[in-house]
Structure 1
């Protein structure tokens, strides 16, 4: 199968530090190649992939030192490049939310869009009503709740390659928080849980510009005033096995409709149980009493973190291998791709002609060159 993967350009593929969507795209792309498919990745030039790379920007946006840059312009250039080559692919798999819809109306039946973010924001519903011909994939069933009318084709949980994580059979006695310092992630709860248990807490987290005030006024004073808390900062994939594997439990004390939560399965890959608040996707990812604990209150979280060491770390890793490997994710997507192909109606007009009918400004010579 000839598959295009179209990623956001904010982070490298995979990200150097924090990053979710681009990390998933990286692992999905490599797993599809390993399963024998012909995959083309549209991404920034710093991507590392086993697929054929079409570089559409010199580097990912967030770590680009240029003082002035346009994320919209870079994404439009990428989508134009995908559109020029659309005839080359059986499936074009977008991870760019909704920005591609107006440009790809003529070939909507050969596209699939995975939605990676929250969907309970104002104005979003109107987009999916207007462009209902585009098939969508959710990353958890809970993510769909604000848009029950949307053209959902499947739910595919994220997966990660197990070989980049080393499971640890024994912890080093500390609790871990990994993610972003933001109000919805509730790092304050993590600090409160660790303090109540008198256990060390290591926090490996990114502070976005939008969250600097929250960090400076709420979290930083809690960190600096507590000898149990160690703020590590952002870490990359190569550091996660040691960080998560050494933890007695990962604290996931969220207070928002988390669409998936990669950090939960990263912890599971290291054999580390997860203490998660029952919110968003957590009930779909965590098996209560087996791979961690689901809680509703701070008191329950403290009690759960206190008994996390009783769970079988080898069994937690085994559940990751069964449910959340990158190969398992790729196979589920292949089922969705196959269904998409089976439902596609016969089109007597060539793909080039159908696109040109809607977008006549695309250079005809680009199609000739690509088909040569």
Structure 2
């Protein structure tokens, strides 16, 4: 089986720190290669894979201001479809632009929909639902007006996330500094709970960061690490008493939630989007509806067994499980 894996080019694949779509693309690519699948990864030329790397774009547009996102995205996507005849299947991880190329080739196309930035992009997905096999990353993110081939949750390499049986007394915010991710709510919860808050992630909204985060920073009650990757990422996720994931949008998945749980860190999250699919209330964390309830949950976090948090990920959210489900989907599409 020959698969063309089409990654986004916003960040390197795998990312150096932030880049959830690129991270999932890399994890799936490497897991398929381990299963003997012939995978060519179409990504930025500085990307890394144990398979074949292809693509014209020299660097990610979110890291190199010389890269024009629109120009290089068109060149990147066109390059894949111009080589479509070399592959049994194209797996698109790069949003909606590749859909417009799908009827120009005979090669089957799978598209993982990593979320909808706006309902305004729905018409392009609707226009190609009879040609492209869509995968939702959670049941919560299935749009009622679209036809789907499967729901496949993301998976992580459990061995990359060391289990910390003790954690610390600090709370953690881990994600984009943006209203959607609830940075202000995390700060308010930690302050009211009398706990120190460690924050990590890229600043996606400078105005929000300046207004909601910077005034709270004092290195005693609230500290900001910036984007973290590698060993520091794992240590940060595992050394917290709990992850605060008080989101203000219908999050389609939430990799940081799964990664924290893998390290043994319970999660306190607003009960919306995919959170009920990731967190078992009272077992691996708490699903709450307000900052008041989040503060109460912080006081109850000692009731959560950190080993149970890791066990839940080992059972449901491993890269092996994700790869097997995608491989079954490919075989079904190809009639194998």
TM-score normalised to structure 1 length: 0.86
Matching residue of 2:211: 217
- 2:326 maps to 1:329: no
Aligned with residue 128 of structure 1, among 118, 122, 125: 125
* Residue 107 of structure 1: how far off its partner (Å): 3.4
Matching residue of 2:183: 187
Give the Cα–Cα distance (whole angstroms) in 2 for the partners of residues 109 and 273 of structure 1: 43
Give the Cα–Cα distance (whole angstroms) in 1 for the partners of residues 301 and 320 of structure 2: 28
Is the 2:172–2:244 contact (alpha carbons within 8 Å) kept by the matching residues of 1?
Answer: yes
Aligned with residue 197 of structure 1, among 193, 199, 223: 193
* Residue 218 of structure 1: how far off its partner (Å): 2.3
What do residues 307-332 of structure 1 show as CA deviations (whole Å, max 9, x unaligned)? 22321112211211111111111111
Matching residue of 1:31: 31
| Aligned positions of 1:52-71 closer than 5 A | 52-66=52-66, 69-71=67-69
Change (3 A) 1:108 1:183: farther
Give the Cα–Cα distance (whole angstroms) in 1 for the partners of residues 258 and 88 of structure 2: 31
* Residue 74 of structure 1: how far off its partner (Å): 1.0
* Residue 108 of structure 1: how far off its partner (Å): 6.3
Which sections of structure 2, spanning at least 5 residues, go unmatched? none
Give the Cα–Cα distance (whole angstroms) in 2 for the partners of residues 77 and 168 of structure 1: 44
Give the Cα–Cα distance (whole angstroms) in 2 for the partners of residues 203 and 319 of structure 1: 25
What do residues 281-329 of structure 1 show as CA deviations (whole Å, max 9, x unaligned)? 1011111122211111211111112222321112211211111111111
Is the 2:55–2:79 contact (alpha carbons within 8 Å) kept by the matching residues of 1?
Answer: no
Give the Cα–Cα distance (whole angstroms) in 1 for the partners of residues 305 and 134 of structure 2: 37
| Aligned positions of 1:145-160 closer than 5 A | 147-160=143-156
- 2:253 maps to 1:260: yes
Give the Cα–Cα distance (whole angstroms) in 2 for the partners of residues 326 and 131 of structure 1: 28
Give the Cα–Cα distance (whole angstroms) in 2 for the partners of residues 336 and 223 of structure 1: 47
Change (3 A) 1:128 1:65: closer
Matching residue of 1:370: none
What do residues 89-109 of structure 1 show as CA deviations (whole Å, max 9, x unaligned)? 111100111101222214366
Change (3 A) 1:236 1:108: farther
Matching residue of 2:277: 284
SS at match of 2:335: helix
- 2:293 maps to 1:300: yes
Matching residue of 1:79: 77
TM-score normalised to structure 2 length: 0.95
Aligned with residue 169 of structure 2, among 173, 180, 202: 173
Give the Cα–Cα distance (whole angstroms) in 1 for the partners of residues 305 and 105 of structure 2: 49
Is the 2:171–2:240 contact (alpha carbons within 8 Å) kept by the matching residues of 1?
Answer: yes
* Residue 150 of structure 1: how far off its partner (Å): 1.3
Change (3 A) 1:175 1:255: same
Q: What's the C-alpha RMSD, in Å, of the aligned pairs?
A: 1.6
Is the 1:175–1:250 contact (alpha carbons within 8 Å) kept by the matching residues of 2?
Answer: yes
Change (3 A) 1:122 1:55: closer
Give the Cα–Cα distance (whole angstroms) in 2 for the partners of residues 49 and 289 of structure 1: 39
Is the 2:266–2:304 contact (alpha carbons within 8 Å) kept by the matching residues of 1?
Answer: yes
Is the 2:85–2:107 contact (alpha carbons within 8 Å) kept by the matching residues of 1?
Answer: no
Matching residue of 2:6: 6
Aligned with residue 309 of structure 1, among 284, 302, 327: 302
* Residue 24 of structure 1: how far off its partner (Å): 0.5
Which sections of structure 1, spanning at least 5 residues, go unmatched? 344-372
* Residue 185 of structure 1: how far off its partner (Å): 1.0
Is the 2:88–2:107 contact (alpha carbons within 8 Å) kept by the matching residues of 1?
Answer: no
